[in-house]
Structure 1
């Protein structure tokens, strides 16, 4: 430690003892600061200067006039008058051809052309076939990289105002026309026109009220979701309490399931063996029947008794097959081919049993006349044997594999139960945390829904009242009532119809200006570049004489001791840059000290990364540092949201140091959410660990490679 300190103190003394070296250090400190300040100031509030951009407006509207309506309407002229009073952009009113040509040449950033049929299209509001009035919007995207987006945003803001102006102009004009038509109310065409207008107003009011009802319904669903979360939280607590008992029950169930799996494995083979034995027994019955009928003439009584014994045995087998059939039916195999074959075998065995009893009676009564009975019995035996063989084959082909699969599934379930038992408590804890977080979000959502629904219902109510009053006036035929409903102040009513609902914008973690939003990006990109410049100006190696003066310290001591001067210069860079942004540019910072801390940590980390790369890889390390800078310029999401970047940029962004430095400084600028500032600082510090490993351990094996590369570069007499 003493050698490292002496090396650091000596480096600081040497770098400050020479005028030239002091000037170089001042330049290294000033470069990132000037880079950041100029860029932050240049992007401070660019959208506030959109009014300096020239927009051309060409009005070709021919207006609208009909025999029914004695007033000529030119909405295009009214729009032009409204735009003349609008100072958001530098409006230039010209002809259509000049607007197009000026946009192509770059004289205008964009142009708006009002078509000839603009007024006529607007007046279709009173007809069954409504045509939307359209504008032609041209913009020159060659002027600059961002001009298209800036003019687009400016045009969108103005378009919103123009839409309101259009609606207000249209409604005002319509109300003026209605007022002028009031004296001609007896004309059937005029009455039709008024009725259509009133119907449209009624539909609009109904839509607003319906929208409010929809929001109320959604609000009710939100309340229901909130109640469900409450009950779920209670259930989760109860379930968590029973988690230990459940674990024991799952363990017992695992043992039981293992036994079931063993039983299932044996059941299939048992049924197959039984069917095979039954078929063999019928073959034996067939042979014994022949012997009994041959001996019937000599000993009728003995033969008849043997036949009845065979009949009882066959009947017993039929009962056994009935038990197998019942088991298959209970297991869901009632319609299987095996079940059908067993059913046939049962019928044939019962018939065989009856035939054997009949043969016994026939033998006792007439031992000499048994040929027909003998042939019938043999046929029944053959049929029963075939049915049993078919049942065996079908059982082996269809049911036995399913039983085997069921056994495998039960065994798998046994393994899953063991895993589920250990995961149950952890899952319940995660669900409990999720429920608590969602509950607070639902409360905010319900407040917004209630406010919006109230505004929509108020606007719908006003329009509904106007519709009712106008309907009553029209139905009465009294001109004075129509005039009273319409009133003399058509502009106020038109404004209400044009914008019945206002939008209240509320920023979450508001940032005062665009320059403050871009400050993290314009601070850390130059700090990384400045770290490279430090490595180009200050040597990373220690001379042999200096090492001898220090007592020949170890390579790790030299590595850490020499980094001290790089750290000092880096701290000076980040301090001047961040403090200047706060004091001179007045960049917003909710937490100024954390703003400075993020700059210090980010600058030191960048300097350490570059120092380690150059010490470990020489000139190749400088190239690696430049390559990392290339990735971080776009991949850090400093200017664009990460979601709009290409997929590969989204993948590498979390692995770039500047990404987390920018996030930390943004938290200091706008506000901290759930310790996100400290999380990002922790991630930044974690980036130093692999480079510590590289500098202290992995660097030594690379010494020979670096020496060889340096020798090759020296041989060029150009690079080194």
Structure 2
């Protein structure tokens, strides 16, 4: 069996080398796919290195603004930065030229910075900030890729503006933080003092409440205080009387020795009061004796009237006795009158003398000390007391009504405001305690005192992207090499079935159909292997694409070419010209479903569904492993999948070729009658 297959293979190559034009055709079929791959790979080598040729119009209409006396114009700053930016071909024109240029296709897009750009940007410092807008318009009909590039460039411009603005604003903010930190550190003792005072005030709230209640009570006693104030004024008015009394006290003190001497005399008089009692008795005896004398004289008169003497002598004696008697009666009457008054005065004198004597004996010493103290008070304290009385009276006259006003205010405060004040103090104390338990003031100061420049730089670029390139590929062309190489191999396989005859003329009845199929297949596989060798070596050494595993890259290209040739050959061998069309349809489906250009997840659900059933999926994955760095498990999986495609293709051909051959032949003959299809 193998010998017959080998005979067909040798015959094919003998026939090829017998005709030079066929040799040239085979050579062209071997080389043409390589040219296809090399041209596409080289054209895609670094497509983003020439974006400066994409012209974008820029029109700056920004009028600028002023922030705290400092003029800024973000539009001008943006233009300056864009002149240094060569990512795109920035062209600086006015609005009219920008709009007409984009519309006519002279520019791919335009950016227009409006008049109020800086003003709106600076509105962040206002209560209602407004976001500025940059007008961006792109002409999408010029090119499919260019709009994406210019949109990326526009986003980059806005990002640069935002970054610069964030840096400026954050630097100003952190400078304010820094100053606040310095001032906070300087004021920290005062803050702690205020905290202590608030805590002390909180502690003193019960006393304050007492004071408030006292103010209310004092308000109630204001009428009483006013009455006492009036008494102070009255007392002030009586100061002259007080001074007179004081003078009297001083005079009494001066006369104390005399009073003391008088007291001694009074005591002596008390001792002699018994003599007065005897005088009282003598007066009584005298009155009694006078009564007796009166009686005697009266008797004598009566006797004289009855005696017989000369009338002249008798009358004269009688008148004398009568005169004496009358005088004596008069005297006796005076004595009687005087006796009652005298006795009363003696009693009073005795009583007064005893009282005075007792006072001098028992109380005078104490009274003397009191008089000395009173005199000392008059000499030393009374002047200041009088001065205090005058001051108190003057204070009452001038300040009492203001005092009343303040007392009313204090009482009103205690009634109306003190409860809220106490609540505020307690809340403030609680918040201070809560703040101190959750925030370390010294840590806060350290945070505020951070370097404003460093903090601003951090805020404008808060995240550094630390990129670790796994399986790095240096350029886009090398990354696309697996796709274009694989595509070239499929195109080469398609060219083979389109240019060369698939069926073998039967050399004799001894050859089986499968032998004819395998013999011609090996010829096609040989050409496919040469195609793979040329395209892979050219990738590596002619256009110098990057590949980690160069040998395996060449080997896998040869294997993939064999897979593709087997698939296309089997389709054409079984279905004839229809198979050629199927190979082309298969190519179209695989370009989108293999994920070779865009990730398959970005395609429609149809292409995502057929992705696992396409040979391109595994062929491009296998070649990517050799370019970026191989993982054995991935290579084995891809290799196994491609082997399955070979097996399915051979099984399809061997099972269907003979049953369908007659029907396919009739169809081909009918197609040739059109004189269009060969």
Same fold (TM over 0.5): yes
Alpha-carbon offset, residue 196 of structure 1: 13
Q: Flag the 1:169–1:41 CA change in 2: closer, same or farther, 3 A.
A: farther
Q: How does 1:70-469 map to 2 (within 5 A)?
A: 70-170=69-169, 174=172, 468-469=448-449
Indicate if the aligned counterparts of 1:602 and 1:658 stay in contact, CA closer than 8 A: no
Larger Rg: 2
Tell me which residue corresponds to 2:504.
542
User: Are residue 695 (structure 1) and residue 678 (structure 2) matched?
Assistant: no
Q: How does 1:626-705 map to 2 (within 5 A)?
A: 626-673=584-631, 675-705=633-663
Tell me which residue corresponds to 2:206.
none
Deviation string, structure 1 residues 417-443 (Cα, Å, up to 9, x no partner): xxxxxxxxxxxxxxxxxxxxxxxxxxx
SS in 1 for 2:71: coil
Q: CA–CA distance in 2 between the matches of 1:61 and 1:464?
A: 40
Q: CA–CA distance in 1 between the matches of 2:74 and 2:12?
A: 77
Alpha-carbon offset, residue 553 of structure 1: 1.4
Q: CA–CA distance in 2 between the matches of 1:465 and 1:553?
A: 97
Q: CA–CA distance in 2 between the matches of 1:539 and 1:498?
A: 68
Tell me which residue corresponds to 1:561.
519
Q: CA–CA distance in 1 between the matches of 2:178 and 2:131?
A: 17
Indicate if the aligned counterparts of 2:167 and 2:457 stay in contact, CA closer than 8 A: yes
Alpha-carbon offset, residue 197 of structure 1: 11
Q: CA–CA distance in 1 between the matches of 2:4 and 2:525?
A: 17
User: Are residue 530 (structure 1) and residue 480 (structure 2) matched?
Assistant: no
Tell me which residue corresponds to 2:377.
none
Alpha-carbon offset, residue 631 of structure 1: 0.9
Indicate if the aligned counterparts of 1:50 and 1:154 stay in contact, CA closer than 8 A: no
Stretch of structure 1 that moved more, 33-42 or 8-17? 8-17
Alpha-carbon offset, residue 63 of structure 1: 1.0
Q: Flag the 1:664–1:159 CA change in 2: closer, same or farther, 3 A.
A: farther
Q: CA–CA distance in 2 between the matches of 1:632 and 1:147?
A: 26
Q: Flag the 1:525–1:464 CA change in 2: closer, same or farther, 3 A.
A: farther
Alpha-carbon offset, residue 41 of structure 1: 0.7
Deviation string, structure 1 residues 35-74 (Cα, Å, up to 9, x no partner): 11111111111112112211221111111126xx222221
**Aligned match for 1:521, one of 483, 490, 496:** 483
Alpha-carbon offset, residue 195 of structure 1: 8.2
Q: Flag the 1:134–1:495 CA change in 2: closer, same or farther, 3 A.
A: farther
Alpha-carbon offset, residue 125 of structure 1: 2.9
State TM-score, norm by structure 1: 0.54
Q: CA–CA distance in 2 between the matches of 1:588 and 1:719?
A: 43
SS in 1 for 2:503: coil
Structure 2 unpaired stretches of 5+: 185-442
Indicate if the aligned counterparts of 2:179 and 2:449 stay in contact, CA closer than 8 A: no
Tell me which residue corresponds to 2:528.
570
Structure 1 unpaired stretches of 5+: 180-193, 203-462, 471-484
Indicate if the aligned counterparts of 1:198 and 1:467 stay in contact, CA closer than 8 A: no
Q: CA–CA distance in 1 between the matches of 2:170 and 2:541?
A: 52
The number of residue pairs the alignment matches comes to 417
Indicate if the aligned counterparts of 1:106 and 1:140 stay in contact, CA closer than 8 A: yes
Q: Flag the 1:565–1:32 CA change in 2: closer, same or farther, 3 A.
A: same
Tell me which residue corresponds to 2:669.
711
Q: CA–CA distance in 2 between the matches of 1:623 and 1:508?
A: 40
Indicate if the aligned counterparts of 2:54 and 2:146 stay in contact, CA closer than 8 A: no
User: What is the alpha-carbon root mean square deviation over aligned residues?
Assistant: 2.8
State TM-score, norm by structure 2: 0.58
Alpha-carbon offset, residue 624 of structure 1: 1.2
Q: CA–CA distance in 2 between the matches of 1:17 and 1:51?
A: 55
Q: Flag the 1:506–1:160 CA change in 2: closer, same or farther, 3 A.
A: farther
Deviation string, structure 1 residues 510-538 (Cα, Å, up to 9, x no partner): 22111112112211222212212111222
Q: CA–CA distance in 2 between the matches of 1:198 and 1:75?
A: 28
Q: CA–CA distance in 2 between the matches of 1:53 and 1:620?
A: 45
Alpha-carbon offset, residue 498 of structure 1: 2.2
Q: Flag the 1:54–1:693 CA change in 2: closer, same or farther, 3 A.
A: same
Tell me which residue corresponds to 1:606.
564
Q: CA–CA distance in 2 between the matches of 1:37 and 1:18?
A: 29
Deviation string, structure 1 residues 647-706 (Cα, Å, up to 9, x no partner): 101001111111210111111111234621221111011101121112222211112211
